[in-house]
């Protein structure tokens, strides 16, 4: 196994905080991975920043993709809830 500097490990952990959620009944939920599966076409242009309470924060590359994702937000929420079993109130798209 390749050795990593502590600063690199801490950076990796901090970068992924909020993307992975621990759920007692369902194990670990990797929101970024599920986002990629649900929003295949948008994946190259977006990624999950964090999940906070019932809100998913997603970074989006440009305004055109934000509009497209907002247009389909209800369907995306339905698919994410179906995949995770978790309640999701809204998605906030950030540029």
Q: Which comes out higher in pLDDT, residue 47 or 14?
A: 47
pLDDT for position 24: 44
Q: Model confidence at 13, in pLDDT bands (50, 70, 90)? A: low
Q: What is the pLDDT of residues 36-89, one digit of tens each?
A: 999 999 999 999 999 999 999 999 999 999 999 999 999 999 999 999 999 999
- pTM attached to this predicted model: 0.73
Q: What is the pLDDT of residues 17-49, one digit of tens each?
A: 655 555 545 568 899 999 999 999 999 999 999
Tokens 């698919």 belong to: 79
Task: Identify the H or E element spanning 74.
Answer: helix 73-84
CA distances from 70 to 13, 46, 80, 92 (A): 29, 13, 15, 9
Topology annotation, domain 6-94: GMP Synthetase; Chain A, domain 3 (3.30.300)
């Amino acid at each position: 196994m390749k050795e990593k500097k502590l600063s690199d490990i801490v950076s990796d952990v901090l970068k992924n905080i909020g993307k992975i959620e621990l759920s007692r009944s369902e194990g670990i939920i990797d929101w970024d991975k599920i986002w990629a599966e649900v929003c295949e076409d948008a994946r190259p242009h977006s990624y999950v920043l964090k999940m906070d309470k019932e809100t998913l924060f997603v970074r989006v590359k440009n305004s055109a993709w934000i509009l497209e994702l907002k247009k389909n937000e209800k369907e995306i929420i339905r698919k994410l809830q179906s995949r995770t079993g978790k309640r999701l109130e809204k998605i906030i798209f950030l540029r």
